[in-house]
């Protein structure tokens, strides 16, 4: 009887939690609010070396890559926003199968815990740097890396190697400063002030010059291709 009561209570709590609105970020777009647009660098360090960039893949949910080993996160809807905005969606988009027991990447040999590298057997571990501050030493994240919810500006390395081996930051970190899907300002353009003219032509007493005060500068923002 007690077990029935406990299970019933747990079911009620779970049902209530499922009905609660998910107000955690990243947000999907709704009327009056644009979607969040986040980016996190990711890398796969296998047997002492980083795997080349994963292909772009498909994007059914708004969490994808551009062939740059950056997780681009701008959820299309509730199925990929808030608590559901996990690396699982990214892995599915780039056709990777990554868990706490297996790393299966496109074009690469599958690695499982206990498989060998040149220096011995390897295990899967994940390290996350929450900021790009040089003083951030990173932290190991236990469990399945596909359940990680990446944050804007984070660095993530999924590693396969010795249990005590160092895990380096992903090489794609600098790409966060030069993203293809983020608008970039163009160079300022100057407009020359043309001197007034008289009925017989330009006023000879006025010289056409461009000074800081006489130049109007405009900056436009256009998306990179």
Q: Per residue in 90-145, pLDDT tens?
A: 999 999 999 999 999 999 999 999 999 988 999 999 999 999 999 999 999 999 99
Tens-digit pLDDT profile for residues 22-53: 689 898 988 888 889 999 999 999 999 999 99
Res 184: pLDDT: 47
Residue 32, classed as helix, strand or coil, is coil
Q: Which of 131, 28, 150 is nearest to 89 (CA)?
A: 150
Q: Where are the alpha helices (DSSP H) in the chain?
A: 2-19, 87-93
Q: What is the pTM of this model?
A: 0.72
pLDDT score of 186 more than 70: no
Token pair listed for 197: 């003219």
Residue 20 is predicted with a pLDDT of 65
d(CA 65, CA 206): 58
pLDDT digits over 72-87, tens only?
999 999 988 999 999 9
């Amino acid at each position: 009887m007690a077990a029935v009561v406990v299970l019933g209570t747990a079911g009620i709590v779970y049902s209530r939690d499922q009905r609660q609105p998910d107000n955690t970020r990243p947000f999907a777009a709704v009327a009056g609010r644009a979607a969040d647009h986040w980016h996190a660098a990711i890398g796969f360090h296998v047997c002492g070396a980083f795997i080349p960039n994963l292909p772009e893949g498909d994007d059914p949910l708004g969490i994808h890559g551009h062939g740059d080993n950056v997780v681009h996160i701008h959820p299309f809807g509730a199925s990929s926003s808030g608590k559901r905005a996990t690396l699982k969606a990214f892995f599915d988009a780039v056709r990777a199968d990554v868990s706490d027991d297996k790393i299966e990447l496109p074009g690469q040999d599958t690695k499982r815990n206990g498989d060998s590298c040149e220096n011995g057997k390897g295990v899967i571990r994940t390290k996350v740097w929450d900021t790009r501050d040089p003083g951030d030493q990173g932290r190991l994240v236990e469990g399945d890396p596909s359940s990680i919810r990446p944050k804007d500006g984070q660095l993530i390395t999924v590693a396969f190697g010795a249990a005590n081996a160092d895990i380096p930051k992903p090489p794609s970190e600098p790409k966060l400063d030069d993203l293809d899907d983020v608008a970039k300002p163009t160079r300022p353009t100057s407009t020359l002030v043309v001197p007034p003219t008289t009925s017989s032509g330009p006023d000879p007493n006025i010289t056409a010059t461009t000074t800081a005060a006489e130049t109007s500068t405009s900056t436009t923002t256009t998306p990179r291709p």
